[in-house]
Copies of this chain bind each other. A is one copy, B any other.
Amino acid sequence: MAEWKNLDTLTSFDNLQKVQKVNLKEAMSGENGAERVKKYSIPMAGGLSFNYASKQVDEDVLEALAKLAEEAELVKKFEALYNGEIINTGENRLVLHHMTRGQLGNPVEADGVDKRTFYVTQQEKIADFANKVHNGEITNAAGEKFTTVVQIGIGGSDLGPRAMYLSLENWAKKNNAFKMEAKFISNVDPDDAAAVLNSIDVSHSIFVLVSKSGTTLETLTNESFVKDALKKAGLDPSKHMIAVTSETSPLAKSDDYLAAFFMDDYIGGRFSSTSSVGGAVLSLAFGPEVFAQFLEGAAEEDRLSKNENILENPEMMDALIGVYERNVLGYPCTAVLPYSQALSRFPAHLQQLDMESNGKSVNRFGEPVNYQTGPVIFGEPGTNGQHSFYQLLHQGTDIVPLQFIGFKNNQLGSDVVIQDSTSQQKLCANVAAQIVAFACGKSDDNRNKNFEGSRPSSIIVGEQLTPKSLGALLAHFENKIMFQGFVWNVNSFDQEGVQLGKVLAKRVLAHDTEGALKEYSDLLNI
């Protein structure tokens, strides 16, 4: 059994703090810098690699991080997780999202079924349904093919699937895998649903209602909004909707849906992109084969996360460097900077994945911790960000660690040569240039044009953003965040912090308010 201990009780953490800090600017200059780029790299699945040459580490720091990984028993804890221990202690639940894409250890039985079988069965049901939609066996009442799929969900039922859809939309169009356009309705702001409904042909649309509990306020409200619109168009909503929910939810056996696909309590919303939550919409949009490739990439990356050697485990390395930056170097934020327009919403998904998992102040036993946990995560695609917030990243008073992502090839294959280089080459040249600019800086007597350098970054590089490399990329961050939760000794799989607001919102709607809450309600005219 792994021992769950607070970070500040570990001898290896104490030692880590004493290791000489690296002067990154110096380390990355000259031939030493070139050597680091070659050496500080770990292969990942899907043709990716994790390169941490421009992080503030050296052999001594890496050795101390390896000892921390060992003392914190990170791999053993991961093993406990995928073998079905109750890792989500707060909610007394197993944590099984890895099992949607493979089986890393022993069979796990829960609720009387083998869970791997359960998830695979759902995938097969979805594949069958999607194929029937695509080949015209399942149609609207007029016998016409559906052309659009609309996901209705919020949080993990929205951000992950939406980011994955956008990541693969152009790839699918280029590779004859584009089956249906997907749209997303999430916000309880009625303008969100109304605008999406105005932009589609509802008579040829199929709606995926996603709510694990079947009680999410925003999602049920938006479902009613959509049903209203369908009825007004003279359509039968039950012929246009499917549900993704848990088997015990009120939606599971309802006649209101063409079909229901299941998830369970062992997969948190933010980790559900590889479950039916992502599976239904992505299989409908791109076909089940594409979704299977996505799962394969994730599965392969998951297996790399089992490696006890930090130098060969990209997720553990990334996690520990992040802990070092947060708890020893004292950096409060991390920016995610994909040099790929297709990843435009990937930072928003990571923002949820990371901040909702590790934005905690108590350990897994409910005791307050005396150290910083999850950082603030934000980001936008490059090169756009270069013309925006990079100013602060380069010359601001705080140091923000950076996570670059880049691909050698674009997805659509259209390009143009200007001034002797393609757009793709310009894109890649910019990411290379930025990493070195951040790390090495540049002295200038005009202090306004001076760059201190020593601003750490890592990069995940790939051949192309494909279903498989996207799966690997997603699993990388999921597992990185899991490992960080282990190090901080927090429960990364609950989210009690979202509850109080829900309770108070209900009181506002019931006009059961007083004091400031009443005044704010009046201010907003409720």
Contacts and interface: CB of A to CB of B under 8 A. Distances in A.
Interface residues of A, number: 159
Interface string A211-222: 000000110111
Contacts of A332: 332-333, 398
A315 B198 CA distance: 37
Contact of A416 (B228, B429, B452): B228
Contact of A51 (B420, B423, B518, B523): B523
Interface in A426-454: 426-437, 439-442, 446-452
A426 B219 CA distance: 12
B220 A269 contact: no
Nearest to A369: B397
A362 B228 CA distance: 57
Nearest to A517: B436
Given A170-B195, A221-B423, A501-B434, A372 B398 contact: yes
A54 B126 CA distance: 48
Given A53-B516, A187-B384, 9 more contacts: A37-B523, A54-B516, A221-B426, A351-B389, A355-B389, A358-B392, A369-B397, A374-B397, A432-B508
A275 interface: no
Given A333-B333, A416-B225, A428-B525, A360 B439 contact: no
A358 B395 CA distance: 10
A524 B382 CA distance: 15
A255 interface: no
21 contacts: A37-B523, A54-B516, A188-B383, A190-B414, A190-B415, A191-B341, A221-B423, A332-B398, A352-B387, A356-B389, A360-B391, A366-B448, A367-B447, A374-B392, A375-B398, A391-B495, A391-B498, A425-B509, A428-B525, A433-B505, A459-B520
Interface string A65-101: 0000000000000000000000000100000000000
